[in-house]
A and B are shown apart, each in its own frame.
Chain A
Amino acid sequence: MSTRSKIMAAIKRIAKEQNISLPRLDDDLSLNETGLDSLAFAILVARLEDDLGIDPFTISENAMALLTIGDLVRAYKNVHA
């Protein structure tokens, strides 16, 4: 599975667990519009750290400025590279 598909799968799983109905996860969808709250993001980041071995939020100060789904995927890909 690619980094992108792992991220998407993790988001969908958390949304299901938290009873959040997700819109279509296009790259230009803003993270605010996903409906995920800060707890859901905290869970996402922890699970992705276990899965991918990285946590771009702790490594890079810029990561906090993420705006969209596309930014999120790039943040993980960039750290990975």
Chain B
Amino acid sequence: MFTPESVGLRDYLSPDSRGRTISDAHHELSLSESYRTTCVTTGVQQLAGRSVLLAVSGQLLSALAMIEIDGVVRRMLLCPPDINPNLIENLIKEAEIDAIVTDEPQRWSEAGINVLTVHFPEPTDVRQKTERATDWLMLTSGTSGAPKIVSHTLDGLCGAIHVDGTSQGTAPVWATFYDIRRYGGLQIFLRAVIGGGSMVLSEPGEPLTDYVARLVARGVTHISGTPSHWRKFLMSGSVSHFSPSYVRLSGEIANQAVLDGLAQAFPSASVGHAYASTEAGVGFAVTDGREGFPASLIGQHSNGVEMKVVDGSLHIRSKRTAQAYIGRDVAALMDSDGFVDTGDMVELRGERYYFVGRRGGIINIGGLKVHPEEIEAVINRHPAVRMSRAKSRRSPITGSIVVADIVLAANGIGRERKIRDEIISDCRDQLAPYKVPVVISFVETLDVTPAGKLARI
């Protein structure tokens, strides 16, 4: 779509914004000067109006390529690094991709599609202009099944950022545990670009202590991640010397234990949890330090977001939701009234709604149903527990029963027997009998998916 007033990412990087940088573990590049450089070997104008797969191995080069091709291409499909290679051929077909932008051209030589190589930025005299509103295509980060492609506009992606406003005073330094090619990470990258700050990128495989040392060295003030990311962080004991002023959790249920853990670790920070998903966009943020959200948010328009609960599932309507699923034979993203069904189940207790789990994740125990998250919430309240995962185990009698894997904090090691009894007793007090784990196993670690969510097999 051509609109003369379209604003692209490059338009937020004016020459008078000095000293803004973006860095990973190996390089630091200037964001302020990026309008004077190019990463695309043969010139970005070749990509005008194309549908582009952005398949760059690292986040730093991806970030610069996003800035450069936004507002030039028709579509940009962000390819996260962990994508199953077997799925890519189909994604290319569904998104009608006709050009690939990559730093690994040999990998795509068989694709039969125009391949453009990106490299570290070089100075250029060409001043590329924003020509159109590019569709931003992203993959859903579900914990099971093939990813779906959803289409956003830059305007929609930035909806919550404009509402929050740009920060006053010292420019923020942003960081996130997410990859910026995922919705949660992209939100932080966009905040850094639009809000006038700098950004520190995560590095796959980098030890947490090294990452935190970089966050400290670069003076990171604003940081986000999933509750699983943060539990791992709290477990690592790398907190010392790191004192961000803004800490956010999103992507999974933030329960009281992890909120309290972060409030304790960062006493001077604003610790909050945000509700967002690739399909529904940013819904709201909660900064009162408590899990769940005030019931008053349901039914009202606040900051352009309207929410309702239908059959226990949170539905969201706003300009920040994705536009549509992309591909043949895809389901409708929203209902006829424009609401996106998030599939995130909530329960009203008193004046507050609490997230109880995903609609698809329910365990059925002889006809009685439970969300694993509900059990984990009880287990995670035990002071010696760092992470837990409740899951289904096949049963010849009831179809399924519930078992739990638990990672202990350092203060729990060696006291397993006592802790097991205490947890079972807590579960009995707070849960119906069929929800109490039948077997509890203590494990060293629990897997977290590349999207930062607890892996549920």
Residues of A with Cβ closer than 8 Å to B? 17-18, 38-39, 41-43, 45-47, 50, 55, 57-58, 63-64
Contact = CB atoms under 8 A, between A and B. Distances in A.
B433 A42 contact: no
A39 B433 contact: yes
B434 interface: yes
Interface in B384-401: 393, 395-398, 401
Given A39-B401, A46-B439, A57-B397, 13 more contacts: A17-B424, A17-B428, A38-B397, A39-B366, A39-B398, A41-B397, A42-B366, A45-B395, A46-B395, A46-B401, A46-B438, A57-B396, A63-B396
6 contacts: A18-B433, A39-B366, A39-B433, A42-B366, A43-B438, A58-B396
Interface of B: 365-366, 393, 395-398, 401, 403, 424, 428, 433-434, 438-439
Contacts of A64: 396
Nearest to B366: A38
A47 B434 CA distance: 15
Contacts of B424: 17
Contacts of B365: 39, 42
Contacts of A47: 438-439
Contacts of A50: 439
B396 A45 contact: yes
Nearest to A55: B396
B439 A42 contact: no
Contacts of B433: 18, 39
Nearest to B367: A38
A67 to B, nearest CB: 15
A38 B365 CA distance: 10
- Interface of chain A, main secondary structure: helix
What are the nearest 10 A-B pairs in CB distance?
A57-B396, A42-B397, A42-B398, A42-B395, A43-B438, A41-B397, A58-B396, A42-B401, A46-B438, A39-B434
Of B393, B397, B398, the most chain A CB neighbours within 10 A belong to B397
A64 B395 CA distance: 13
Of A18, A46, A57, the most chain B CB neighbours within 10 A belong to A46
Contact of B401 (A43, A55, A58, A63): A43
Contacts of B428: 17
Contacts of B397: 38, 41-42, 45, 57
Contacts of B398: 38-39, 42
A39 B401 CA distance: 8
Nearest to A50: B439
A63 B439 CA distance: 23
A46 B366 contact: no
Of A17, A41, A42, the most chain B CB neighbours within 10 A belong to A42
B428 to A, nearest CB: 8
A47 B441 CA distance: 12
Contacts of B396: 45, 55, 57-58, 63-64
Nearest to A57: B396
Nearest to A44: B397
Given A39-B365, A39-B366, A39-B398, A46 B393 contact: yes
B432 to A, nearest CB: 10
B401 to A, nearest CB: 5
A46 B392 CA distance: 12
Contacts of A55: 396
Nearest to B441: A50
B338 to A, nearest CB: 43
Nearest to A14: B438
Of B401, B424, B438, the most chain A CB neighbours within 10 A belong to B438
Contacts of A18: 433
Nearest to B400: A42
A55 B395 CA distance: 10
A1 to B, nearest CB: 19
Nearest to B394: A58
Contacts of A38: 366, 397-398
A41 B424 CA distance: 18
Nearest to B398: A42
A15 to B, nearest CB: 13
